[in-house]
A and B are shown apart, each in its own frame.
Chain A
C-alpha cells in the first residue's frame, strides 16, 4: 500500500539532489536556481520549508548532512567550482535573514578550478572529514581539526585521478581503513576503468589507489557503498549503463573482479539505459536507481542474494510545455521580469498535502 504526499518546493529550476539528515526528520534540497532549501517534518508527517537561501553562483549539484554529533551542518557543491559548509545556529533572526533561517556559511572550499561534482562527509567514526571531487579529476579530502570551529578546514590530501570525476562514496564500514570509491563520467571506453578505489594509509599518511575496476568502461554517474549491517563483505553499487553491483570480500580488500562464483558483478538491467542516480535504503537491502527512460526501479536482494526488480516508479507522462533552455544571462533577465522574486514568506509555505493513495493489495515483496 502506498501513500504519496506532494510537497511543493519553491525551487525555480530543476532539483538535483535531496538529502535526508541522519534521522530522516530533516531534508535538504538543492537546485540549478543556486539555492538550497531545508525542510523539517512535524508530528503530522507534514514537511515545512524552514530555510531557503542562495548558496552558490551556479547549479548546486549535491547537498549532504554531517552526522549530528558535529551539529547541524550541511555541505553543498556547485558548478561555480566551490564547495561550502553551512551551520545552523540557534538564536533569533532579523527579517532580512529570515529566508536563510539560522544557516550561516562557515567555510568556502575554493581549491577546485572546475565544477565540483560531488561532496560527501565521512562516516562519523573517522571524525569530521569531507571529500569533494571535481570535473578536472581531483579528489580532495578535507578535515576540520577543531570540531568547535568549522571555519577552518585543512586539506588532508589531494588525489589526481586523471579522469574527470562525477561522484564519490565513502565506505561506511568501521572495520576498514578509510576508503573512498570515485566514479568518472569520462565517455571514452579506452580510457580505462571508470571506478577507482582509494584507501588511506595511516603509516604513510596519504591516500593510495588500491584498485581500478577495469570491467567498468562506460561513464559512471553515481556510486554508493551499501550500508553494512554485519555482512562479511562490502557492496558497491555503480550507476553507469545499467547498474552494476560489486562485492568486495573483507579478507581481500583488493578488487575481486569478475572472478568465478559469488564475486561476479551483478548487472541490474535497465535495458541498457544510462542510470543517473542511485540510493540505498538505510539497511542496505533495497536500491533505488533512476535511469534515462524516466523510471525509478527498486532492486532488492533476497535472503539468497538474488537480485530482482520489485517495483517501478514512473511519471504520469503528462509532458508540460517544453522547458525553456536559455543561455544563462538571458535567463537571468527573464527571471527578473516574468518571475518576480517571491515574497519573504513564500519560502515558508507548508507542504501542500495533496495526498494520493494507491491501494495495491498485492504488493510484490519477494523473498
Chain B
C-alpha cells in the first residue's frame, strides 16, 4: 500500500517581525526549541553592519516543546509502569525456552494493555475533572481518543502476532476483541434494565441487534427474555429464536471437536435458520425476523443495520461469524479488503483504518510506519516493536533491518523523555537495551543529567561505575569539584578531585589550602587531609600538604626528632611552592629553641643552605618584578625579621650541635 503524501505540518508562533528579522531556533535538551526572531548576520551582510534597531516591544524568546505526551500525570504513570514491564520483558526473553516463551509474551502484552487501560481511565477522569483548566481538559480528551485507538491496535496485534493460536482459527478472539472495545450495546442494555419496566423501544432492539451482530448471543437472549411479549408468545416465535440462538455451534480450539465435525454441525444449524425464514415463521415478528436473517448470514440485512454494525472491521467480524466461522487468520486480509471497499467506499482511509488493515495483512513494518507517522506517540511504536521483536515477528517480515528499527524507535522514545528531568533513570534502562547505538547515547545522556545535589551526583556516579563509564565519571567529578570550588567549599572540592584523580586540580586545591594556612595559621578540613592515605600521590603539591600536616601532628604530639627530620626532608625535597619556603623555615624555629638539640650539625648546615637559597630568590629579578610589588611594606618587614631570627637560631643551634657531637665522640 502506498503511503499517502501528507503535507508538512506547520506550527505558527505568535511572533512579530519574523518576516523582516527572520525566525531562528536553537535546540535545548530533548525535544525543545528556543525560537526567537532576529538574525544580525543578515543585517551585516546587507551592509548595515551595526545599525541599531529600536524595538518597540521587548524581544521575545519562545520555549517550544513537543511530544510532551508523556509529561502529564496519567502518562507519566504509564511511562513508569511500561518501563517496568519493558525491563522484565528484556530479562525474561534472554533466559526463556521456546516452550514457555509464547504464553509469557502474551502475559507481557496483556500487562502493557492493562497499563494502557489504566492510563485511559486516569485520562477520562482528568478530562471530566472540573479542577483542570479548559485547555488541559481538551488535551486529555484528545489523548483519551488516542489511547483508545492505540489499545485497539495493540489488542489486534496481540491476537495476530503474539497469541496466534495453532490451526489459525481466529474468530473467537476477534469476537472478544470487538466485544472489549465496542460497548454501545452494554451501555444501552444497562440503561434499559435500570429503568425497571422494560420499554420496548428503538434502543431496546438496537441493543439486541448489536449483541447479535457481535455474536454475544447469551446477552441477546437475556435481553429478549425480558420482553413482556414473551409472556404470551402464542405462536412460539420467541421460543423459536431463543432456541436457535442457544443452539448455535461455537468452535473452540480447546474443545475436542475437529474442524470437519464443527463444519457439519454449523451447516445443519444455519440450514435450520434459513428454513425458518423460508417458512415465514417470524413474518409477523419483524425484529425477530431480522435477527434470524443475521443468523442465516444474509448480506443485505447488514446494509440495513449499518448504523449499528459499526466500522468496517466490526462488520467484517460479524460477516465472518455468520458466513465463514472457520476462517483462517491468513485469509483475513481478503475479507478485510472487501469489507473496506463495501463500507468505506471511496472516502479517504484514516490512519486507524490503514494500521488495522496493515495488521490484518501481516505487514508489520507498515503498522509501525503508519503508526509512527500518524499517532504522535513514540511510546506505542517503541514498545510494540520491542514486543514483536521478542516474538520474532519483526525480522521475519522481509526485513533485515528489523532490529535496527526496534532500536531506532526505542532511542526516539527515550529522547522524548529527556526533556523531563525526573525520567532519567528510566531513560538509562531503555538506552541500555539498544545494542548498537545505546552505549553512545548512554554516554552522552549520563553526562547531561543535571546534578543539582551531591546526592544525585553520587547516584549518577554509581551508574557510571556499574556500566564502566570511567570517562563520564571523571567528568562528573570534575564538574562537581569545580562547583564546590566556586562555592568556596575546599574540602568538598578536594574530595571530588580525588575521585577524578585530576592532578592539576589537586595541585591547585593543595595550594589553596596552603594559602589558607599561611593566612590563618590553621587548616580547615583536617580529617580529610589527615586521611588522604595513598591518594595524596595524585599530585606533588598534595603530597606536600599531607606531609606538612603530618609534621604539625608530630610536633603537637611531642615527637620532636621525627618532626624535625620530616621538616628537613620537606624543605629539601622542594615540593613546596617557593613562597611557602619561609613558612617552612620558620616552623623550624620552635624546634631550635628546645632544650634538646633536634637538628644535627649536618642538618643545620642543610637548613642554612636552604635559607641562603631563599635569600637569593628574594633578590632575584623574578621576585622583585612579580611578587614584591604585591606585598605590603609591613609584610616585607616581617619577612626580613623572620630571616634574621632564623639566622640567629640556626647559628646558635649549629654551635650547640657541634658541641654535643664533640662530647659524644
Residues on A lying within 8 angstroms of B by beta carbon are 1-20, 22-25, 27, 29, 31-33, 47, 58-59, 61, 67-72, 79, 88-90, 115, 117, 124, 147-148, 166, 185, 219, 221, 227-230, 274, 276-277, 279-283, 285-286, 288, 290-292, 294-296, 302-304, 309-328, 331-332, 334-335, 338-339, 351, 356-367
Which residues of B sit under 8 angstroms from A317, Cβ to Cβ?
A: 18-19
29 contacts between A and B (CB under 8 A): A2-B66, A6-B63, A11-B58, A13-B55, A32-B40, A79-B44, A227-B444, A230-B440, A276-B41, A277-B39, A280-B27, A281-B415, A282-B444, A283-B441, A290-B23, A296-B23, A311-B9, A316-B13, A317-B18, A319-B16, A326-B53, A331-B53, A334-B54, A362-B375, A365-B412, A366-B372, A367-B373, A367-B409, A367-B412
Which residues of B sit under 8 angstroms from A357, Cβ to Cβ?
A: 135, 139
Is B10 within 8 A of A290, CB to CB?
no
Is B369 within 8 A of A367, CB to CB?
yes
Is B60 within 8 A of A294, CB to CB?
no
Stretch at the interface among B223-231, B312-320, B389-397, B479-487: B479-487
Contact of A314 among B10, B16, B53, B64 (CB under 8 A): B10
Closest B residue to A14 by CB, please name it: B38
Is B37 within 8 A of A23, CB to CB?
no
Interface residues of B in 123-159 (CB under 8 A from A): 135, 138-139, 142, 145-146
Cβ of B236 within 8 Å of any chain A Cβ, yes or no, is: no
Which of B10, B60, B415, B505 counts the most A-chain CB atoms under 10 A from its CB?
B60
The distance from the CB of A360 to the nearest CB of chain B, in whole angstroms, is 6
Is A281 within 8 A of B39, CB to CB?
no
Q: Complex formed: what's the CA distance from A103 to B437 in Å?
A: 39
Interface residues of B in 443-488 (CB under 8 A from A): 444, 447-450, 475, 478-479, 482-483, 485-488
Is A314 within 8 A of B142, CB to CB?
no
Q: Complex formed: what's the CA distance from A11 to B449 in Å?
A: 30
Cβ of B90 within 8 Å of any chain A Cβ, yes or no, is: no
Q: Complex formed: what's the CA distance from A230 to B19 in Å?
A: 39
User: Provided the pairs A70-B482, A315-B16 are in contact, do residues A325 and B401 lie with their beta carbons within 8 angstroms?
Assistant: no
Is A281 within 8 A of B31, CB to CB?
yes
Cβ of B615 within 8 Å of any chain A Cβ, yes or no, is: no
Contact bitstring B33-51, A, C-beta under 8 A = 1, else 0: 1111111111111001111
Contact of B20 among A16, A20, A67, A323 (CB under 8 A): A323
The distance from the CB of A119 to the nearest CB of chain B, in whole angstroms, is 14
Residues on B lying within 8 angstroms of A by beta carbon are 6, 8-45, 48-69, 135, 138-139, 142, 145-146, 351, 368-369, 372-376, 378, 381, 401, 404-405, 408-409, 411-412, 415, 418, 436-437, 439-441, 444, 447-450, 475, 478-479, 482-483, 485-488, 504-505, 508
Which residues of B sit under 8 angstroms from A1, Cβ to Cβ?
A: 66-69, 139, 376
Contact of B11 among A6, A313, A323 (CB under 8 A): A313
Is A185 within 8 A of B57, CB to CB?
no
Is A358 within 8 A of B11, CB to CB?
yes
Is B16 within 8 A of A11, CB to CB?
no
Is B372 within 8 A of A367, CB to CB?
yes
Contact of B401 among A147, A303, A359 (CB under 8 A): A303
Which residues of A sit under 8 angstroms from B34, Cβ to Cβ?
A: 18, 20, 27
The distance from the CB of B220 to the nearest CB of chain A, in whole angstroms, is 36
Where chain B touches its partner, the secondary structure class is: mixed
User: Provided the pairs A3-B66, A311-B11, A367-B372 are in contact, do residues A24 and B29 lie with their beta carbons within 8 angstroms?
Assistant: yes
Which of B409, B479, B505 counts the most A-chain CB atoms under 10 A from its CB?
B479
Q: Complex formed: what's the CA distance from A286 to B418 in Å?
A: 15
User: Provided the pairs A1-B139, A15-B61, A325-B51 are in contact, do residues A313 and B32 lie with their beta carbons within 8 angstroms?
Assistant: no
Is B486 within 8 A of A89, CB to CB?
yes
Q: Complex formed: what's the CA distance from A230 to B437 in Å?
A: 6
Which residues of A sit under 8 angstroms from B8, Cβ to Cβ?
A: 309-312, 364
Q: Complex formed: what's the CA distance from A234 to B66 in Å?
A: 28
Is A303 within 8 A of B52, CB to CB?
no
User: Provided the pairs A277-B25, A303-B405 are in contact, do residues A327 and B51 lie with their beta carbons within 8 angstroms?
Assistant: yes
Contact of B479 among A68, A295, A360 (CB under 8 A): A68
Contact of A296 among B25, B44, B57, B439 (CB under 8 A): B25
Contact of A361 among B23, B145, B412 (CB under 8 A): B145
Is B29 within 8 A of A229, CB to CB?
no
Which residues of B sit under 8 angstroms from A69, Cβ to Cβ?
A: 475, 478-479, 482
User: Provided the pairs A12-B55, A13-B52, A339-B54 are in contact, do residues A59 and B19 lie with their beta carbons within 8 angstroms?
Assistant: no
Is B57 within 8 A of A320, CB to CB?
yes
Closest B residue to A296 by CB, please name it: B25
Is A319 within 8 A of B20, CB to CB?
yes
Closest B residue to A71 by CB, please name it: B482
Closest A residue to B15 by CB, please name it: A315
Q: Complex formed: what's the CA distance from A90 to B12 in Å?
A: 41
The distance from the CB of A146 to the nearest CB of chain B, in whole angstroms, is 8
Is A335 within 8 A of B29, CB to CB?
no
Is A61 within 8 A of B488, CB to CB?
no
Is A276 within 8 A of B39, CB to CB?
yes
User: Provided the pairs A1-B68, A8-B58, A290-B24 are in contact, do residues A15 and B37 lie with their beta carbons within 8 angstroms?
Assistant: yes
Which residues of B sit under 8 angstroms from A279, Cβ to Cβ?
A: 25-27
Is A166 within 8 A of B67, CB to CB?
no
Which residues of A sit under 8 angstroms from B56, Cβ to Cβ?
A: 320-321
Q: Complex formed: what's the CA distance from A4 to B11 in Å?
A: 10
Is B40 within 8 A of A61, CB to CB?
yes
Is B18 within 8 A of A356, CB to CB?
no
Which residues of B sit under 8 angstroms from A22, Cβ to Cβ?
A: 447-448
Which residues of A sit under 8 angstroms from B411, Cβ to Cβ?
A: 283
What would 12 more interface pairs be, CB under 8 Å, given A67-B475, A285-B412, A317-B19? Answer: A11-B55, A29-B61, A71-B483, A90-B488, A230-B439, A292-B22, A313-B64, A315-B37, A319-B16, A325-B48, A334-B54, A367-B381
Is A359 within 8 A of B58, CB to CB?
no
User: Provided the pairs A3-B68, A32-B52, A331-B52 are in contact, do residues A296 and B38 lie with their beta carbons within 8 angstroms?
Assistant: no
The distance from the CB of A144 to the nearest CB of chain B, in whole angstroms, is 12
Closest A residue to B479 by CB, please name it: A68
Is B23 within 8 A of A363, CB to CB?
no
Q: Complex formed: what's the CA distance from A90 to B505 in Å?
A: 19
User: Provided the pairs A10-B58, A16-B40, A20-B26 are in contact, do residues A4 and B376 lie with their beta carbons within 8 angstroms?
Assistant: no
The distance from the CB of B86 to the nearest CB of chain A, in whole angstroms, is 19
The distance from the CB of A319 to the nearest CB of chain B, in whole angstroms, is 6
Is B31 within 8 A of A14, CB to CB?
no
Is A23 within 8 A of B39, CB to CB?
no
Contact of A7 among B11, B20, B62, B488 (CB under 8 A): B62
Which residues of B sit under 8 angstroms from A79, Cβ to Cβ?
A: 44, 49-50
Contact of B373 among A9, A71, A365 (CB under 8 A): A365
* 7 nearest CB pairs, A to B: A315-B18, A24-B29, A230-B440, A14-B38, A331-B52, A363-B376, A303-B408
User: Provided the pairs A279-B25, A324-B53 are in contact, do residues A14 and B372 lie with their beta carbons within 8 angstroms?
Assistant: no
Q: Complex formed: what's the CA distance from A18 to B62 in Å?
A: 11
Is A4 within 8 A of B20, CB to CB?
no
The distance from the CB of A326 to the nearest CB of chain B, in whole angstroms, is 6
Is B51 within 8 A of A326, CB to CB?
yes
Q: Complex formed: what's the CA distance from A32 to B42 in Å?
A: 12
The distance from the CB of B627 to the nearest CB of chain A, in whole angstroms, is 16
Closest B residue to A4 by CB, please name it: B64
Is B66 within 8 A of A364, CB to CB?
no
Q: Complex formed: what's the CA distance from A114 to B38 in Å?
A: 22
Which residues of A sit under 8 angstroms from B146, Cβ to Cβ?
A: 361
Which residues of B sit under 8 angstroms from A67, Cβ to Cβ?
A: 475
Is B448 within 8 A of A331, CB to CB?
no
Q: Complex formed: what's the CA distance from A13 to B68 in Å?
A: 32
Contact of A15 among B19, B57, B59 (CB under 8 A): B59
Is A288 within 8 A of B351, CB to CB?
no
Which residues of A sit under 8 angstroms from B138, Cβ to Cβ?
A: 359
Which residues of B sit under 8 angstroms from A315, Cβ to Cβ?
A: 12-19, 23, 37
Q: Complex formed: what's the CA distance from A357 to B64 in Å?
A: 10
The distance from the CB of A94 to the nearest CB of chain B, in whole angstroms, is 18
Closest A residue to B411 by CB, please name it: A283
Which residues of A sit under 8 angstroms from B24, Cβ to Cβ?
A: 18, 276-277, 290, 296
